[in-house]
Amino acid sequence: MDRIDAASPRNLARMAGFLYLLNIVGGFFAIGFVPTVIVASGDAVATAHNLQTSELLYRSGLAAHIVILVTNVGLAAIFYELFRVVNRTLALLVVFFTLVGTAVEGAGVLNQFGSLVLLNSGPYSGVFTAGQLRALAYLPVDTQGISYDVYTVFFGFYALTIGYLVFRSTFLPRLVGVLIVLDGLAYLTNSFAAFLAPGFAVHLVPWIQLPALFGEGSLCVGLLVMGVNGERWTRVSVAAGMPALEGDRRWS
Amino acid sequence: MELIDGMSPRARARITGAVYLLFFLTAFLSEVLLRQAGLSAISGVSGDAAAIANGIQAHESFLRWGVALGVFSIGCYVALMALFYQLFRPVSRSLSLVAVFLSLVGSAVGAFGNLFQLAPLVVLGGDSYLRAFDTNQLQAMALMFFNLSTQAGNISLLFFGLFQIVIGYVMLRSTFLPRLLGVLVAMAGVGWLTFMSPPVAIHLSTYFEVLGFIAEASLMLWLLVVGANSERWIEQATAAGRTYTPANVQMRRETR
């Protein structure tokens, strides 16, 4: 018996909720907490000092970020299984947006390792002055925002799609779907404001991040605490003419 | 009626064409705007770093709109891949999947390249920590970043080329689209692969760019205007033994 395929929709949902929780907690640590400790905005000297004295914390943040990437991939697979009964094309779209967004996000993490490489005096460090090295090490910190703005475009599209699927699903609360759609709109607003009018985008933070808390937070809690309504899931699945998973048969 | 899944194969093909058109328009406009700022996502930039840097700063909003539309166009392309998979699944499930996965990897590499299109604005932004470098160095760095995005674009071309060869072959074996489209798309894919060798690409790039444009534009227009032949699509899907969405079953009843 296969472990994932044999799981009931409710158990799949719980697994997704657990991965989402890891994702949110990891995201808070890696993107929300660590940079506020390490980065002194606009100050390359202080930032370089923090990077060197708190290297382990910085590395932990990057490691947590990589864990997030892995949970994204697992979530994509589970969401496909759960939502393909609602709309196969859109469920595939959820997977595709997640995978591309995750790949871009992962490449951004590579950039952030660059700061450590530069400051940990390699053979090339003698060519630059100390000031130049610190400025080069600060550059990935500075461009991290752009990387975030690019990958959140894909997560914005992901949220719009999965919000629609949740809304139409009947096996998850409609309100959660609405909240995730708002979350997606907030991501897209934030990214495109940052591309087009960075001066304006600065004023949107942190308000623009609240919808993510409610949208993805409610999806995570909903999946984790309630799971999905298995009876309704099976009904939707049968109506879509899809063969049930081995687990549904055992479960129902 | 359920969005996309509940539509006839022809209607779905036309929606695929519409998303393709949206990709085309935004990608094209993105390149036009970047050229207004003295840059090009396709050919990169070369020459006097100071002049280019001044151009970027004088036309900052063109660069910003160019990047924003470029990222949006990749989003359209990712959506297009889900629609492509659904369209070509009846021909060969595994080949369609291989094709769209290749394209997704290409899209991710290309999207990461967008980061390097905005990085010049950071380097030229005049933050105090950048005073460690003199102006010439900053301008050279700005140029280097932008050209990295072109390199990312070239890497993604390898994946797009392979994608087009596989999907062109699938199109050739499909009964619901003209075979000529498949041949054109596969040839365009072979053309993109020549970009892996700059000495070869220098001589042939113009021809292959024209071929690539003709192939994709004709596929896009065909899907948008004609769509796919619904009856044949269903026949091929039946032969492949796939399960139907209710709309397909209904379509089949109507065509009998």
Contacts (Cβ under 8 Å, ≥6 apart) of B161: B189, B190, B191, B192, B193, B195
Distance CA B256, CA B252 (A): 6
- Residue-level pLDDT at A1: 47
- Which residues of chain A fall short of a pLDDT of 70? 1-6, 243-252
Domain boundaries, chain B: 9-255
Q: CB of A87 within 8 A of CB of A40? A: no
SS3 A240: coil
Query: What are the tokens at A49?
Result: 């000092």
Report pLDDT digits (tens) over B197-206.
878 888 888 8
Q: What is the mean pLDDT of chain A?
A: 90
User: At which residue do the structure tokens 């943040």 appear?
Assistant: A61
Report pLDDT digits (tens) over A202-237.
899 889 988 988 999 999 999 998 888 888 898 888
Q: CB of B185 within 8 A of CB of B134? A: no
- Residue-level pLDDT at B41: 84
Which residue among B68, B79, B83 sits closest to A196, beta carbon to beta carbon?
B68
Nearest residue to B209 (alpha-carbon basis) of B227, B195, B229, B226: B195
- Residue-level pLDDT at A5: 67
Contact A104 B79 (CB under 8 A): no
Q: What is the mean pLDDT of chain B?
A: 91
The counts of H helices and E strands in chain A are 11, 0
Question: Which B residues 80-99 touch A at CB under 8 Å?
Answer: 81-83, 85-86
Q: With 0.90 as the threshold, say if the pTM is over it.
A: yes
Reported ipTM? 0.91
Query: Chain A contacts of B86, Cβ < 8 Å?
Result: 88-89, 92
Q: Give the gap in angstroms from C-alpha A158 to the nearest C-alpha of chain B.
A: 10
Q: Which residue type sits at B175?
A: T
SS3 A128: coil
- Residue-level pLDDT at A205: 85
